[in-house]
Amino acid sequence: MKHNFGAGPGILPHEVLKQAAEAVINFNGTGLSLLEISHRSPEFEAVLDEALKLVRELFEVPEGYSILFLQGGASTQFALAPYNLLPEGGKAAYLETGVWANKALKEAKYFGETIVVATSKESNFSYIPKDFEIPKDAAYFHITSNNTIYGTQLHKFFKSPIPVVCDMSSDIFSRKVNVADFGLVYAGAQKNMGPAGVTLVIVKDDLLGKTNRKIPSMFNYQTQIEGGSMYNTPPVFAIYVSMLTLNWLKAKGGVEAIEKENDAKAKALYTEIDRNPLFKGVCVPEDRSHMNVCFVVQNPEHEKPFLKYCDEKGIVGLKGHRSVGGFRASIYNALPITSVHVLIDAMQEFQEKNK
Q: How far is CA 70 from CA 23, 198, 223, 257, in A?
A: 21, 6, 12, 28
Residue 351: alpha-carbon gap to chain centroid: 32
Residues 347 and 318: beta-carbon distance below 8 Å: no
261 burial type by CB count under 10 A (0-12 exposed, 13-18 middle, 19+ buried)? middle
Question: Of 32, 252, 345, which Cα lies nearest the Cα of 353?
Answer: 345
Q: Which residues carry out catalysis?
A: 100, 167, 191
The residues, ordered by sequence, that sit 6+ positions from 149 with a Cβ below 8 Å of its Cβ are 98, 99, 100, 125, 292, 294, 321, 323, 324, 328
